[in-house]
Structures are given as structure tokens and as C-alpha cells.
Amino acid sequence: MKEQIDNLVDELKNFKISSKDELEKFRLKFLVKKGLVNDLFNEFKSLTGEEKKKWGKELNVAKQKVESFYKSSLEQLEESGVGNSEVESELPGYFSELGGRHPISYVVEEMNQIFERLGFSVSVGPEVEDDWHNFSALNFPPNHPARDMQDTFFVEDDIALRTHTSSVQVRLMEEGNLPIRSVMPGRVYRNEAISARSNCFFHQVEGLYINKGVSFLDLKQTLYNFVQEFFGANTKVRFRASYFPFTEPSAEMDIFLGTETESDYKLTKGTGWLEILGCGMVDPNVLENCKIDSNEYSGFAFGLGVDRIAMLKYGVKDLRTFFNNDKRFLDQFATL
């Protein structure tokens, strides 16, 4: 019996516990029903009365040593925090999902890149604008009905949410670093009824080129290049005469989608043609308003509506789905 008790104490001395795993191994080896301590007690039962007297006390002392070693190891582990539930090293970690880019941003980016390849830089400006930059400098006289073309959200008398990114064109022209060849992407606001096809805010990419001797031909060639890159080499386009206060002559450009699919038929109202931009030669009054000599310089400007093009590109039928932040919708673009 003595030898067995000594063995038990020796084993106990050799045991090191530095993790919850090791503590559990210890418990299984020494303290469970079929563990070493109980084995000894079972053997103890078969001893004679004389021997029991002799070894009982020693056996109990050994048992207490085992138990107090177990208790103190457990306390130490808890104090040092090893194996506490908060730092359960084997639990899988929490992963935060990566967000995706917004589909409108993809389209804006693609447009910017095409124009950058054509030599345009990218400029941005404020969404809250004064009357001068949004209207007056662009040849909208006060109380002129042309201002009704763009239903404006006013912040104060002379301050409004910009109705187009042409305001950034004015800012660039006022800076006066000629020639100017830049595109202006951004969000614009108009007080329009919200429906599947229009919203009270939308996105534009406008462009401006000012130099000596710029002609309508340059405008057309730039837009042809853009359309071929963005919509494909064989895309048909047409220009229709139009009116904007800040350009003269003015035009709108359509691309041909056809009417074969139901969605193309609807989108083009049965004509096959979809309007994608307004454009024209910058009105000399606008150049003069921005202190550019209109006898020396001329320029063209255009403004693309991004949202409708994004609807077309991604087959989205209701404009509003772009903006109600439904994760199931947005996730479809996350991997693009």
C-alpha cells in the first residue's frame, strides 16, 4: 500500500497544469470514479483491520493533496483568465462582412474612366449651391421661366440643393485655368414626384471642354467615343435639337435599343430610342459670366443621367430599388 500511495504522490508532483485541457486531464486521471484515488480506496477496502488503521490516514492525506492541487490549479487558471469563456481560443472568430460598392458608383466610375482616357479630369463641387452657380451664371435670368425646368429644393432664398452638376462647371470656369477638360460626377436634387422612373434626387456625370476653336464636331466625336466604349461598338445614336439656357445650339442624344424585348419597349416608350444626355456649345454669355473671353475661347458641355443608364445596364425595373438599401439587392453587386 505504501508504494502505491507514494506513487500517487509522485505522479501528483510531476503534473503541471497550465490550461483548462490539462486540468480536465488531471481530473480524469485522479478524481473520477475510476481514477487513481478511487482505485486506491477500493484496494483499501480489501485490507485487514490492522492495515486499515495503518494506512487510512496516509491515504486520506494523499487524497486531500490531490484535491487541493486540483482546486488551487482551477483557481489559478481562473485568475489568470486562461480558458475563461471570453477568451475561448477554440471558438471561431466573428467575421465582419466586407461591404460592396453601390451599383450607381460602379456606373459613375466606369464613365469617369472612359472620359479620363479621352483626356478629361474629374472635378467635384458642393451639393448645396447658391443661386449664382446653379442658375444665374448659367444664363437663367431671374424669374425666367427656364428656371421652372428644374423644380428646385430651396434651403434659403438664394441657396438651394443643386439641380444639376453644371454648377461645378461654373466653379471650374471661374477658377480660370484654361483650357478646361473635365467631367463632374455627383448627386443632384429636383422636387419631382417619386415613381419607378423618377426620383427627387439622381446622379449626373457632366462634362466640359473649353479651349480655342472647340466646335460641335468635337462634342459629337467625344460622345461617339463614349457611347462606343460604354454601350458597345455598334451602338446607334441620334441627336435631337433641344434647349438649355446655358448652351447654344443645344441637343439631346439618344441611343438605339430597339423594341424587341419588353423592357426595351417600355423603356423607350415604343420608339426604340432612349435619351441619355443633354449637350451643346457653351453659350458665350456663360463664358463671359465666368470671365472667359468668348471671342477667344469656345467650348462644349454635356450632362449624362447616370441612374437611368444604371437601370438599363443592370436590368433594374424600379429606380427606387437602388436607394432603399435592401441588403439583398445590394449584395448582388458586392462581388463585381
- List contacts with ligand PHE (CB under 6 A): 164, 166, 206, 244, 247, 278-280, 301-303
CB of residue 308 to ligand PHE, shortest distance in Å:
12
For ligand PHE, give the closer residue by CB, 83 or 245.
245
Angle between helices 36-45 and 2-14 (to 10 degrees): 170
For ligand PHE, give the closer residue by CB, 40 or 206.
206
Closest residue to ligand PHE, based on beta-carbon distance: 303
DSSP code of 254? Answer: E
CB of residue 328 to ligand PHE, shortest distance in Å:
32
Q: Is 22 exposed, middle or buried (0-12, 13-18, 19+ CB in 10 A)?
A: middle
For ligand PHE, give the closer residue by CB, 63 or 133.
133
CB of residue 195 to ligand PHE, shortest distance in Å:
18
Cα separation of 206 and 182, whole Å? 8
The sheet with strand 159-161 has its strands ordered as 128-130, 159-161, 154-156
> Which residue type is seen at 326?
D
Q: Is 251 exposed, middle or buried (0-12, 13-18, 19+ CB in 10 A)?
A: buried
- Whether residue 284 is preceded by a cis peptide bond, meaning omega within 30 degrees of 0, is no
For ligand PHE, give the closer residue by CB, 55 or 202.
202
Q: How far is CA 95 from each of CA 78, 92, 332, rounded to the nearest angstrom?
A: 27, 9, 20
For ligand PHE, give the closer residue by CB, 103 or 299.
299
- Whether residue 142 is preceded by a cis peptide bond, meaning omega within 30 degrees of 0, is no
For ligand PHE, give the closer residue by CB, 139 or 247.
247
For ligand PHE, give the closer residue by CB, 73 or 165.
165
CB of residue 326 to ligand PHE, shortest distance in Å:
28
CB of residue 169 to ligand PHE, shortest distance in Å:
7
CB of residue 201 to ligand PHE, shortest distance in Å:
13
CB of residue 278 to ligand PHE, shortest distance in Å:
3
Task: State whether residue 69 is helix, strand or coil.
Answer: helix
Render 313-326 in DSSP notation, one character per residue. HHT-S-GGGGTS--
